[in-house]
Amino acid sequence: MNIFVCVKQVPDTETKIIPTADGSFIETNSIKWIMNPYDEYAVEQALLVQAANAGSTVTVLRVGSSKDTEALRTAMAMGADEAYLVEAQDNLDSYMIAKALKGAIAKSGKTPDLILSGKQAIDDDCLQVPQILATMLNMPSVSVVVNYEGSATDITVKREVEGGALEIYGVKLPALIACNKGINTPRYASLPGIMKAKKKPLTTLSLTDVGVSDADKRVKYSNFQLPPEKPPGKKFDATDAAKMASVVKEVVGLLRTEAKVL
């Protein structure tokens, strides 16, 4: 099987986000970049499917800046065979990213049997790219998947919806599956894996190579700013057992009379 995995490189979840002075994006210089956490599940799932289907290859794709290739190197250290990087700024919109991924798949010369991705990237949180890419490729797809079983031609996946309910889908491959936490436990890259990854092929493409231009822009962002700081709230000490009941009563009362939420 030709298995493709789409990954994104995002700021670590502990990163403090600082908008640029002109509000056009965020300061990216001092950021620690990681593979989008949901994409780790996609890489792991690709490796599990590869192991179950002899002769399969796993190709990783990423669209973004070439300053750091952490996400692709990590994916190859985990076991992926090769990688494509489409060089672009880190704030392309979902439509452009999906079109670039489609172009990169075409450039690889392989016809996909299975495409895996994370359910969303934790930077722009759009939850669009997997669905756009599947639609562009006229491929069935299921998003927010927490369970994957099946053969090289037919799979059964579980999609998580409101309240933790699960929709169980039967899907004919080729298909695109967008993974959520819970689908598997991603492996750590081993030291030999990290060494081997350095010798695995990483092909760099430009947006022009994959047929993407400014005319593909669909979403314009501006005015990046920090959320307004809340004024300090009221703090009550209930560590003293004698005062505890009266403190709790007071807070519950305030929720009705002052905050008016009950």
Partner 1 sequence: MANILVFTELHGTHVKGVTLEILGRLSGHNVEVATIGTLPTEAIAELAKFGALKVHSLKGANLEKYSPEGYANALKGFIASGAFDYVFAGATSVGKDLLPRVATMFDAGMASEVTNFIMEGDKFAGTRPLFAGKCFAKVELTGPKPHFVTVRPNALGMNANPTSAAASASESTVDAGAIRAMIKDIVKGASEKLDLTEANIIISGGRAMKEAANFKILDEMASVIGATVGASRAAVDSGFAPHAMQVGQTGKTVAPTLYIACGISGAIQHLAGMRTSKVIVAINTDPDAPIFTKADYGIVGDLFTIVPIMTQEFKALLGK
Residue ranges in 113-172 that form contacts with partner 1 under rule CB under 8 A: 122-128, 131-132, 134-136, 140-144, 156, 158, 160-172
Q: C-beta of 128: minimal distance to partner 1 in Å?
A: 4
Q: C-beta of 47: minimal distance to partner 1 in Å?
A: 21
d(CA 197, CA 212): 29
Tell me which residue has tokens 């950021």. Answer: 31
**Candidate residues 55, 208, 225, 242; the one interacting with partner 1 per rule CB under 8 A:** 225
Tell me which stretch binds partner 1 (CB under 8 A): 60-68, 71-79, 103-111, 235-243: 235-243
Does 185 participate in binding partner 1 (rule CB under 8 A)? no
Question: By the 8 A CB rule, do 78 and 189 touch?
Answer: yes
d(CA 211, CA 96): 10
C-alpha torsion 248→251→256→259, nearest 10? -160
SS3 170: strand
Residues between 78 and 107 with contacts to partner 1, criterion CB under 8 A: 93-95, 98
Q: For partner 1, which is the closer residue by CB, 75 or 129?
A: 129
C-alpha torsion 26→28→30→35, nearest 10? 110
Q: C-beta of 224: minimal distance to partner 1 in Å?
A: 5
Does 22 participate in binding partner 1 (rule CB under 8 A)? no
Does 30 participate in binding partner 1 (rule CB under 8 A)? no
Query: Residues binding partner 1: what is the number (CB under 8 A)?
Result: 87
187: Cβ contacts below 8 Å, ≥ 6 apart = 44, 47, 78, 79
Does 238 participate in binding partner 1 (rule CB under 8 A)? yes
